[in-house]
Amino acid sequence: MKVEIEDFFKPVYVKDNFTKDDYEIVDAYINFAKSLSKLTYQSIYLIDYSKKSFLFVSDNPIFLCGNTPSEVQKKGYQHYLDNVPEGDLLLLKKINEVGFEFFENLPTEDKLTHSISYDFHLKQAKGKPLLINHKLKPILLDKSSNPWIALCVVSISSHANAGNIKFKSDDAGKQFEYNLDTDLWVESPHVKLKPREKDILLFSAQGFTMEQIADKLYVSIDTIKFHKKQIFSKLKVKSITEATALAIELSLF
């Protein structure tokens, strides 16, 4: 089954005819995205569902696949067709369908508080395709509460395989995972780390050894080992590198 650009927009129902004044508001969000892209290692871009295009693409190479930001922005959704392996393109089509259906069923007042996260592969100019994590959050709605402008954040995935589809509400503290086998959304526990666990992850991310972390926190190495086991259990990972990447992905800091 061939995936077309229009497949990504069939579930979206943007109905407004936006004016020049409307897009003056959008300019403020573009400037915000530009500023944000200078402060993070992640790749940032903005989608306009009305124009079916990208409004801004940062210069972070994770999302560019060997292209320049202006080339990717000009290509828009063709960038996916050119650089996502076929199997993952079908997955993206499915995510698009179930994601917008989930969004459509949210109360209007909750639509700007939810974000969707999922993993897929992007081909690289050199080497094997890279598994990336993609977060999408609507930031402007049309008059019928359909998504108009969305902010997207791309980082390297902490998982082993594509998928891992999650809808999260920061305000309500709820998280839903989509099961591709049963075609159902299932509410999952929202992972919470204790302050000491966050400290250990942060120090680990800075390259400190267990002994050094123990010295900094004035605890024994056995205490650090205990907390690391708790972290691994909560996040369902096997290494501190995986734990740190997943904690960043889930915005647990």
Please determine, for residue 172, whether its predicted confidence score (pLDDT) is greater than 80. Answer: no
* Residue ranges covered by each domain of the chain: 5-188, 195-249
Q: Which pTM does this prediction carry? A: 0.81
Average pLDDT over residues 78-107: 94
Structure confidence by residue, pLDDT tens digits, 132-159: 999 999 999 998 899 999 999 999 888 8
Contact 135, 116 (CB under 8 A): yes
Please determine, for residue 212, whether its predicted confidence score (pLDDT) is greater than 80. Answer: yes
Contact 9, 49 (CB under 8 A): yes
CATH tag, 195-249: 1.10.10.10
**5-188: which CATH topology?**
Beta-Lactamase (3.30.450)
Query: Cα–Cα distance between 35 and 136 in angstroms, integer?
Result: 18
Query: Cα–Cα distance between 23 and 158 in angstroms, integer?
Result: 36
Q: Which of 4, 162, 1 is nearest to 81 (CA)?
A: 4
Task: Name residues whose C-beta falls within 8 Å of residue 148's C-beta, 6 or more positions apart in sequence.
Answer: 14, 16, 18, 48, 49, 50, 138, 140, 141, 142
* H or E element, residue 201: helix 195-205
Structure confidence by residue, pLDDT tens digits, 2-29: 889 998 998 888 877 888 888 999 999 9
